[in-house]
Amino acid sequence: MNVHIRYSEPESDDRLGHAYDGIGHRTIDVLKQLLPFDDYDFYLCGPPPFMQSPYDGLTGIGVRRERIHYESFGSGTGLKPGDRVEALVRTGQSGEGTVPVRFAKSAITAEWSRERGSLLEVAEAAGLAPLFGCRSGICGTCATKITSGAVDYIEEPLAPRRQDLLLCCSIPAGAGAPADGANPGVVLDL
Ligand code: FES
């Protein structure tokens, strides 16, 4: 087994070739230098933002998704947009259709649909810039007050919620599920 250790910010007493083998993030170009890139499976493990770049890079050079296996630190998260919501759809917790999302402070109304992902992604697509950190329910940075409506969690978050919701891993409750009358959606204090 060959191990290649990279530090994004080595300390002054870290010695190249001893403590670490390279500086900077592990990009797809670094992987191409280190690996023969033949007919292989790839295994990724780490926080989702750490894995997203190699995942995108590998699929970008034609590696099939089924050859890329990954495990998230913290709550499980899909790397392909819509993966997490697709999982909810498969388990019957969410369905087709759109649901209104009102950002009250910004006086903006958007629509959630399963292709649009989490409420954080809906807010960003609407031109808002809510605070976020991990984007996977761990840090609590994206906590936002909900004024009306309810949400389902794509994954059970690790961060405490109190009366706030975590934008990065939530979608409108019962989103798209068949119901009498339209889903009234959610109103967020954002
Ligand atoms: S961004 Fe970290 S919990 Fe949402």
Query: Does residue 40 lie in a domain region?
Result: yes
For residues 174-189, average pLDDT: 69
Say how far apart CA 151 and CA 153 lie, in whole Å: 7
- What atom of ligand 1 comes closest to residue 157's alpha carbon? 3
Query: Does residue 77 lie in a domain region?
Result: no
Q: Residue 84: pLDDT band by 50, 70, 90 thresholds?
A: low
Claim to verify: residue 96 and residue 24 sit in the same structural domain: no
Domain count, the chain: 2
Assess whether pLDDT exceeds 90 at residue 1.
no
CA–centroid distance, 14 to ligand 1, in Å, is 32
Q: Residue 156: pLDDT band by 50, 70, 90 thresholds?
A: confident
The 10s digit of each residue's pLDDT in 115-153 is 888 999 999 999 999 998 878 788 889 999 999 998 888
Q: What is the pLDDT of residue 117?
A: 85
Q: What is the pLDDT of residue 179?
A: 46
Mutation test residue for ligand 1: of 138, 161, 188, the one with most atoms within 8 Å of CB: 138
Q: What is the pLDDT of residue 82?
A: 57
If you write DSSP's letter for every residue of 148-178 in order, what string do you get?
A: ES-EEESS--SS--TTEEEGGGEEETTTT--
The 10s digit of each residue's pLDDT in 44-75 is 887 766 777 788 888 888 888 888 887 766 54
Please work out whether the CB of residue 135 comes within 6 Å of at least one atom of ligand 1: yes
Strands (DSSP E) found in the chain: 6-7, 22-23, 42-46, 68-72, 99-103, 108-112, 143-148, 151-153, 164-166, 170-172, 186-188
Q: What are the percentages of helix, strand and coil residues in the chain, rounded to 5?
A: 25, 25, 55
Query: Does residue 155 lie in a domain region?
Result: yes
- pTM value surpassing 0.75: no
Number of alpha carbons in the 13 Å side-chain half-sphere of residue 155: 19
Assess whether pLDDT exceeds 80 at residue 5.
yes
Claim to verify: residue 157 and residue 133 sit in the same structural domain: yes
CA–centroid distance, 117 to ligand 1, in Å, is 14
Of 18, 53, 72, which residue constitutes the final position of a domain? Answer: 72
Of 22, 41, 72, which residue constitutes the final position of a domain? Answer: 72
Q: What is the pLDDT of residue 176?
A: 47
For residues 79-94, average pLDDT: 56
Claim to verify: residue 87 and residue 177 sit in the same structural domain: yes
Residue 47 sits in which domain range?
Answer: 6-72
Claim to verify: residue 105 and residue 16 sit in the same structural domain: no
Mean pLDDT estimate for the chain: 82
Note whether 49 and 134 are within 8 A (CB): yes
